[in-house]
Structure 1
Amino acid sequence: MLKIVSFVAMRLANYINDLLYRYDCVIVPNFGGFVTNKIGAKVDENTNAIYPPKKQLTFNAYLQHNDGLLANYIASAEKITFEEATEKIADEVANWKKQLESSSLTVAKVGTLTLNEDYKLIFEPNEKSNFLLESFGLAEAAASEVKRANEEVKVVPIAEEQEATKRVIPIAVKRVAVAAAVAGVLYTGWNTVQNQKQQDIIADQEKLVEKKIQSATFVIDNPLPTINLKVTKEETRNFHIVAGAFQEVENAYKKVKELKNQGFEARIIGENSWGLTQVVYGSYETKELARKALQSIKENISEDAWLLEK
């Protein structure tokens, strides 16, 4: 019996909402892509409000090619095949486009889409949603304004200040100052003598130690053998260009062999969260290098390739 799944139960908008917490880009095939960009905390000087770090959300209508992320997620959640999930997405996209011809479209807590006079999609993100996991639970906070007291400072001329000081210093204070100066001279002389004695003692000790070192002989009868340690460089290539995800491991190995024959450093990087074996064209140390390679692969090999940070 053929299993029939209602896409109403699939809640496409909610699946997009869930994936945006874990990925920087979620593409809806033949519709567009929701792209996030991390921004730091900021302060609104007009309202004195402090906003936590967040993922800034935008919509790119040119990102329409199926990268497999959304379909794989839906297939795993609804326990249907990848092909069935792709068909259901296509049906819902058709409904979205029809709805946009007469009204706006709200995509869960992601935002709202409308068509302008030129029939171009305009996206308004939901400002209340924050898809940055590190900021989970952090809300807008109010900051109180710091007011500084303006105290009048009276400026006294230097000549007047010195004259006033001279009048209030008693003779006894002057005598105490003279006595302190004399004591300081005596202490300095005594301290110099003590320092010289200490230096003489240290010099004698250094000479004694030097003689003992020169007369000592160190012989090691049974030296320990040399140990060669092989240090493996820690894997730092965390940016991968995904060629595909396979349910059968044998198909994954076939894909690796095919890509290696084409000159790629292809390999298997394990299973994804849906249990599919992932095969990559190659792995890179920086996102910049990975993006350049991805662009070349999309233009010359396959438009289905996509970037994974892991």
Structure 2
Amino acid sequence: MQLETYISDLLYRYDCVTVPEFGAFLTHRVSAKIHDTTHAFYPPKKALSFNEQLQNNDGLLANYIADVEKVPYEVAVEKVAKQVKSIKSYLVEGETIAFKNIGELLLNKEGKINFEPSLHINYLTDAFGLSQFTSQNITREVYKEEVKAIEEVIPLVVTPEKRKSRSYLKYAAIALVALTIGGFAASNYYVNQIETHNQLAQEEANQQLEHKVQEATFVIDNPLPAATLSVEQKQTGNYHIVAGAFRMEANSDKKVNQLRTQGYKARKIGANKYGLHEVVYASYSDRLEALQALRQIKHEHNRDAWLLVKALD
């Protein structure tokens, strides 16, 4: 029995997954952040930790195993206990236990379990499809500060005597203002002329297109025979096995076509609150049937597939 597979499945939906007589894996939400030095963007995530003190059986893990493997609850509890006993024996011998997509566990000198979480997976389903990226630092030229710095070094002082001898500066300033106003007026007039021209050209093109469509005549010499179409029954249910989420809708269409050629009843279920288009293998009304299908898909096709519980409009 691959215990880490069941723990990983439950971490997507629950904040605490307890392994009886061993410890509990806990998650807490961490907001998105930007590193001040590297300018790297980190999406929101669920940070994973381990608490050796929480060992009481809350029934979550055993019930999930019993549902998936179709065994009685007591049998599932015995399987977990047997797996825990084996793990503890390896830890005592000084070995490191690696749980795939969860992390590594080992005993320290005090006999306590140290846990190093895996950084290869994000259990926050709301952030599905978001990844880390680094942006270039934005530099801005602040001319105002440069001018202030220059004025502090070389102050401009004009005495009354110099003002009298430089009366032509007043007229030059007036001329400069007039030229500036004239330039703005000419620029606005030119922009308005361009916009008017573009609008008239667009209207003329639309009229020509409409005229050609009205005059067009369509003659079909050899009509095609009537075709019988089989309408695929619409899938229902609140349990969806997610194959992926894509920012570009065209990519989600490609994924649907790819999965359908492989025999899955794939479809799109719309965009989530992050604007990502979600593609599912199939939807189910029965929870146990969905869990069985998810386990088969994770084993045969996609280890990263996960179960979304959501009522669609």
The structure whose Rg is larger is: 1
TM-score (norm 1): 0.49
TM-score (norm 2): 0.49
